Amino acid sequence: MKSTALASAGIALSGIYTKTNAASYSRIVGANRKVNLAHIGIGNRGWEIINDFDKTGLANVVALCDVDMGAEHTQKAMAKFPNAKRFKDFREMFDKIGNEFEAVAIATPDFAHFPAVMLSIKEGKHVYVEKPMGRTFHEVELMIKAARKYPKVVTQMGNQGHSEANYFQFKAWKEAGIIKDVTAITAHMNSTRRWHGWDSNIKKFPAAEPLPETLDWDTWLSAQSYHDYNKDFHKGQWRCWYDFGMGALGDWGAHIIDTAHEFLDLGLPEEVNPVRLSQHNDFFYPMSSTIEFKFPKRGKMPPVVITWYDGLDNIPAVPEGYGVSEIDPNIPSVGGGKIQPAKLNPGKEIYSKELIFKGGSHGSTLSIIPDEKAKEMEKKLPEVPKSPSNHFANFLLACQGLEKTRSPFEIAGPLSQVFCLGVAAQRLNRKIVFDRETKRVINDPFADAYLVGTPPRKGWEHFYEI
C-alpha cells in the first residue's frame, strides 16, 4: 500500500434559523435571472438539497444525474423537474450539455465527491459539494489547489450551519474578545450509527449480492478500487466503511467544530491520538471513538486540544452548570425523523481561560455556562447580525457575484483534512505526528502514505491532474 500510494501522490503533486426570502432575492438579481444548476446525486440527501436550492427561487434545474435513475429514492426529483435532462454518468452529462449549466450541486457518497468536483472546476462550473469535501487528505489538497488555480469558480462545502446564527455569533463574540484564549474543546456525537451492532470480528468484505437492475455499479464505484456489490455498501451504508465513508467524525464534525476551526484559525493539527477505539477492525468504523487533536499556538492564541467523542457508550463528562441536554431543534431531520440524543445532544463545550461555552451542532448558538456567569456577561455581549442568506442562497448569490461563499474550499478544505487525519488515526490505530508546513506525517511512513491512499482505478487517473 505504501509504495502504490506514494506513486499515486506523484500523479498530482506535479439557535436562530434565517429563512431565505425568495421574493427579496428576485428583486435584487432580477426576476428572470437564475443560476442554471445541475444536480449530481439526487436521492436521499441529494433530494433534500434539491429542495433547499429550489426554495431560494434562484436556481433553474437543467440536469439531474444519478447512477440509479430507476430507484425509488430518485423518482421524486425526476417528477418534480420533468424537463431536466437526465444522466447516469456525470462525465456524459458534461460531454453532452456542459454548455447548458453554470453550477453543480454534488450529493454523492464521500468517496465519489472528488472526480465530480475536479471535472466541474476544470470546466469552469461553480461547485457546491456536501461535507466532507473528500475521503482522503490528498484528494482534499488537490481540490484546494484546483480552486486556487481557477479563482473565478465559486466553491461551497455543504455544512449549512456555516451560514446560520452560530457562524455570525461566533464571529462577533471572537471579534469582541468574548471568545478568547481557548485551550480545549470537547466535541461529541453519541447517537446510534448504522454499523452499531455489526460483527467487528470481520475478516473480509461482505459477499457479492445480485445488483439492482437499474444501478450502474461501475460508475457508483467511481475512482475507488473494485468492490462487488452488497446492499451494505449502498445508499447510506457506504458511510460505515473506511473505503467509502468518513464515519461519525466525517459525518458530523463539520456541523460541530466548523466555526471554532475557522475563527480560532486552527488549521491542521500537529498531533492526532486515538485515545479509545472500541471494537477496532480493518473494515468499518469503531463502535465508539475518542480522538484527540492537538493544535499549536497561533500568534497570540494558546495551543488548543480538541477531543472528539462518538459512540453510545462513550459520552464525555460535561462541566458543572451544563444544564439539560434537550432535543436540539437545529438538527435537521434524517429520513423523516429527528436524531434523538443518547443522553447528550451532538455538540461541543469550549473551554477558555475565563469562560466556558456550551454549543450544539449546525446553526445552534453558543451559551455561556453556568447561568450565573451568563448573567454577569450579558451586558458585555455584542449585537449579532442576522444571516443575509442561508447556505444555499449564499452559494447561488455568489455564483451571481452578489455575495461571497462562507464555506469555500480555502476554509472548508483544511477542516475536511482534519477529519482525514482523524480517520487515519482511527483506521491505523496509532498516533500521528504531523508537519503542518510540509503536510506530511513525520513519525510513520505508512500513515504518511495512507493520506494519499491507493491509486485510482484505470480510467480515472486524469481526475488527479490539476
| Sequence-distant (≥ 6) Cβ neighbours of residue 111 within 8 angstroms | 135, 222, 223, 224, 238, 243, 244, 245
- Residue 327 CA to residue 324 CA, distance in Å, equals 10
Range 287-296 average pLDDT: 98
Q: Does 4 score more than 50 pLDDT?
A: no
Segment 406-418, tens digit of pLDDT: 999 999 999 999 9
Band (pLDDT 50/70/90 cuts) for residue 5 is very low
- pLDDT, the chain, mean: 91
In sequence order, the 6+-apart residues with CB closer than 8 A to the CB of 226 are 457
- The three-state secondary structure class of 242 is coil
Span 173-197+240-380 CATH architecture: 2-Layer Sandwich (3.30)
Burial label, 82 (beta-carbon count in 10 A; 0-12, 13-18, 19+): exposed
Cα gap 8→257, rounded to integer Å: 31
Q: Is the pLDDT of residue 142 over 80?
A: yes
Mean pLDDT of 98-116: 98
Beta strands in 391-453 (DSSP E): 432-435, 440-441
For 4-8, 131-135, 384-388, which range has the lowest pLDDT when averaged over its residues? 4-8
Q: What is the pTM of this model?
A: 0.91
User: What would the pLDDT profile of 336-353 be if each residue is shown by its tens digit?
Assistant: 444 444 478 999 999 999
Determine the longest span between alpha carbons in the chain, in angstroms: 64
Name the DSSP class of 287: S
Q: Residue 234 gets which letter from DSSP?
A: S
Tell me what percent of the residues of the chain surpass a pLDDT of 90. 87
Closest CA to 130 of 395, 364, 339: 395
In sequence order, what E strands does 245-311 have? 271-278, 288-295, 304-310
The CATH code that applies to domain 2-162+391-420 is: 3.40.50.720
The residue with greater pLDDT, 335 or 288, is: 288
Does the pLDDT of residue 387 top 80, yes or no?
yes
Mean pLDDT of 67-91: 97
Return the C-alpha cell found at 313. Answer: 457508550
Is a pLDDT exceeding 50 seen at residue 162?
yes
426/435 Cα distance (integer angstroms): 19
Domain boundaries defined on the chain: 2-162+391-420, 173-197+240-380
pLDDT at 405 over 70: yes
The 8-class DSSP code of residue 301 comes to: B
Render pLDDT for 14-32 as a digit per residue (tens, 0 to 9): 332 333 444 444 444 444 5
- What residues contact residue 439 under an 8 Å CB cut-off, 6+ apart? 137, 141, 268
